[in-house]
Copies of this chain bind each other. A is one copy, B any other.
């Protein structure tokens, strides 16, 4: 038993393992406690309940991810079309590198969040992220549409592309273990994605 590590840390570690193996609902708190070398009572000193324990693993990384997503784009100020194109082109690599770094730095937490959260309040995490992306780019798309003649936003495509971009990140983190390679791949995907974006989201009125 790792008596050096604090009990709370050991609990979080065995929770990670158990949630990963069985998924949230089927995971057993007894097993988690036994693996951590404590009794169930101890768990309840540190965590309010099962969901809270799960949250202790995924919540902070998730919130930071949301901050990254939100912080990137300030939808307040109105931009000109050329400013926008520049912003899109230049901004993506920075953003995606930061996102990728964050994802890989919290690899296990995001694995849990993305694939084992059914039954928790995080089960719609992907949807949340998609919605944030959707909102962020909707503002921009609408501004663009206003500045171009006879163009309007195709809501379905906007949403789907938001989904696609989030999925691209998830796919990356679940399939490519090496972070620097991941940055390269994502750069290529993003280039392509940016070019497609205007074409798919804006359609003739």
Contacts and interface: CB of A to CB of B under 8 A. Distances in A.
Given A167-B164, A175-B159, A25 B185 contact: no
A5 interface: no
A196 interface: yes
Interface residues of A, number: 25
Contacts of A119: 23, 25-26
Contacts of A200: 188-189, 192
B176 A168 contact: no
A31 interface: no
Closest 3 A-B residue pairs measured CB to CB?
A: A25-B25, A118-B118, A23-B118
A8 to B, nearest CB: 17
A163 B167 CA distance: 9
5 contacts: A118-B118, A157-B185, A160-B168, A160-B175, A163-B167
Given A156-B185, A192-B200, 20 more contacts: A23-B118, A23-B119, A25-B25, A25-B118, A25-B119, A116-B118, A118-B118, A156-B176, A160-B168, A160-B171, A160-B172, A160-B175, A160-B189, A163-B167, A163-B171, A164-B167, A164-B168, A167-B167, A189-B200, A192-B199
Nearest to A25: B25
Contacts of A23: 25, 118-119
Contacts of A118: 23, 25, 116, 118
Contacts of A176: 156
